[in-house]
Amino acid sequence: MISTQASALPADFLALSAACGSDPLRVQGPGGNTSIKLGKALWIKASGTELAHAERDDIFVAVDQALALSEAKGAGDGTCQAAILDPERGLRPSIETTFHALIDWPVVVHTHSVATLVHAIAPEGLVAARDKLAGLPTAFVPYRKPGRPLTEAIADAMTTQTQVFVLGNHGLIVAGQSVADVDAMMADVERRLAMPALAEHSEPFASPPEGYVWAGIGALAQDERLRGLALAGSYYPDHVVFLGPALPTRPTESAPAFLVEGQDVAMRNEATSAQKAMAQCLADVLTRLPIDWTPRAIGPQAEAELLNWDAEKYRQALAARQA
């Protein structure tokens, strides 16, 4: 019988998961996911939960490893909900469970690393990352919609030795034989890709619009180049999911934030913690972008696929409850 007792998960795995989730330069809000393969079960973070709570809450769900792998290779609908071993708990496995099943290492950690995103959203950054990560078993994966499309792209890019995956316009995956191995390799990747913030900001000289507060990321509004980038599009999936496409310049019913030129980004008073985290992430990424790099947004079609996706609407709803 396959065990579905979350209490059996290794303490070091829970600690690494929580540490990643508590570092906004690695994971923002309910983003990212970790997994561990124990016997015939694959334990993965449940959709909409937060890695930061890994040692506090019961956030992992067990799926049948063989069934999840079959979905990674085209069976089923790719959600792995049919592979859940303990459905009475009411948790859904992460929408990215298929690539955790596909990557044949016991421990897999996926983050939305700011250092990685800075490189992964720009062609010049990807060239630089290849040089910086030389010597590590790395695969570079082009942007695909999260879920099975991304899993298929990973399958095309990886070998049996691959342990580091740089996901175009998305983030980082590190895999290994043990939690300690993954922790050390991920720290090495972060060190190699680390970029300093290049832009500063001053305090807004005006009060925020009624019903809003300043987000404290004024560089996006005060620096002409960064303002143009922030308004030009969205550069990774979770921005679209939690903030909507790009940033508007005036209040809208659907957007939790808008950019006020010369001032700051205004956030709704009732904005969720996930929305606030994603606004900060945008600033963390764009302020580290070298001036001669040319970031590429994921584009309207990719944005529409995310906005109309039931799996992401589910994750948004859970995140709103936890705000």
- Cβ neighbors of 304 (< 8 A, separation 6 or more) are none
For residues 113 and 172, the answer to whether their CB atoms sit within 8 Å is: yes
Q: Please state, in angstroms and rounded to a whole number, the distance separating the CA atoms of residues 305 and 308.
A: 6
Q: Please state, in angstroms and rounded to a whole number, the distance separating the CA atoms of residues 152 and 222.
A: 41
pTM recorded for the entire structure: 0.94
Calculate the CA 292 to chain-centre distance.
Answer: 25
Residue linked to tokens 């945008």:
282
Q: Phi first, then psi: what are they for 257, rounded to 5°?
A: -150, 155
- Cβ neighbors of 293 (< 8 A, separation 6 or more) are 122, 124, 125
Would you give per-residue pLDDT tens digits along the chain (323 residues)? 455 556 689 999 999 999 999 999 999 999 999 999 999 999 999 999 999 999 999 999 999 999 999 999 999 999 999 999 999 988 999 999 999 999 999 999 999 999 999 999 999 999 999 999 999 999 999 999 999 999 999 999 999 999 999 999 999 999 999 999 999 999 999 999 999 999 888 899 999 999 999 999 999 999 999 999 999 999 999 999 999 989 999 999 889 999 999 999 999 999 999 999 999 999 999 999 999 999 999 999 999 999 886 654 544 555 555 55
According to DSSP H, which parts of 194-299 are helical?
219-222, 224-232, 237-243, 273-286
pLDDT score, position 1: 42
For residues 245 and 204, the answer to whether their CB atoms sit within 8 Å is: no
Going from the C-alpha of 274 to that of each of 30, 31, 44, 136, 310, the distances in angstroms are: 7, 9, 20, 32, 18
Residue 251 DSSP label? -
- Cβ neighbors of 182 (< 8 A, separation 6 or more) are 16, 107, 108, 109, 174, 175, 176
- The conformational region for residue 156 under phi > 0 = left, psi -120 to 50 = alpha, else beta, is alpha
Q: Please state, in angstroms and rounded to a whole number, the distance separating the CA atoms of residues 29 and 207.
A: 27
- The conformational region for residue 147 under phi > 0 = left, psi -120 to 50 = alpha, else beta, is left
pLDDT score, position 202: 87
Domains of the chain, by residue range, sit at 6-193, 212-321
Fold of 6-193: L-fuculose-1-phosphate Aldolase (3.40.225)
Strand partners, 173: 110, 165
pLDDT score, position 314: 46
Report the side by side order of strands in the sheet with 212-214.
Answer: 212-214, 264-268, 257-260
pLDDT score, position 200: 83
- Cβ neighbors of 134 (< 8 A, separation 6 or more) are none
CB-count exposure of residue 212 (10 Å: 0-12, 13-18, 19+): buried
Residue 223 DSSP label? S
